[in-house]
Amino acid sequence: MGYENLSLTQVQMEDGFLRVLREVMEHPSCLIQRKSIRESNQSLLEIRLTKEIQNLLMSPCCDTKRLKELAYARAVEQYQHTVFDDSDFQTEKLLYLLSNTPVPTKFDSHLLAETMKKVVVAKEGYLEFHFKNGYQRKIWIKEE
């Protein structure tokens, strides 16, 4: 599979950012997103550890040292697979920042850093702006 090269000037990227930012500042409600309910999936190891803990608790002679080891191992496993979702917090920060910032007339790298997680240049000719709260917006690259 071959990839096409797409050249992008700094002016085009800055222009795209300004256009996206102005749109969001005009319609800040677009930053507020509905969340899909995500179920927590247990790993196979967590399930096994939970069963071992339950079996140990049901046994007439419970080995408390082993119980502590299993509980600690399960806690580590749960922590490693926990998904942290700070999109509400990031949305509040973005709304506060943008409501207290005048509509920009020129590119501001600080504002880019404060609002964006990443910017993707698509070979189809658009920029995809990923805001820090997860909101995404595509905008076509203007020809110079």
- What is the number of structural domains in the chain? 2
Residue 58 located in a structural domain: yes
- Encode pLDDT of 32-51 as tens digits: 976 655 556 788 999 999 99
Q: What is the pLDDT of residue 34?
A: 65
Q: What is the rounded CA–CA span in Å between residue 22 and residue 17? A: 8
pLDDT at 2: 44
Asked if residue 94 is part of any domain, the answer here is no
User: Do 50 and 70 belong to one domain?
Assistant: yes
Picking from 123, 108, 114, the residue whose alpha carbon sits closest to that of residue 94 is 114
Distance CA 86, CA 12 (A): 31
Query: How much is the pLDDT for 38?
Result: 55
C-alpha–C-alpha distance, residues 67 and 58, integer Å: 12
User: Which residues have C-beta within 8 Å of that of residue 9, sequence separation ≥ 6?
Assistant: 144
Please identify which residue in the block is written with the tokens 């049901």. Answer: 58
Contact yes or no for 101/114 (Cβ under 8 A): no
Q: Which regions in the chain score pLDDT beneath 50?
A: 1-3
87 within domain boundaries = no
User: What range defines the domain where residue 55 resides?
Assistant: 44-80
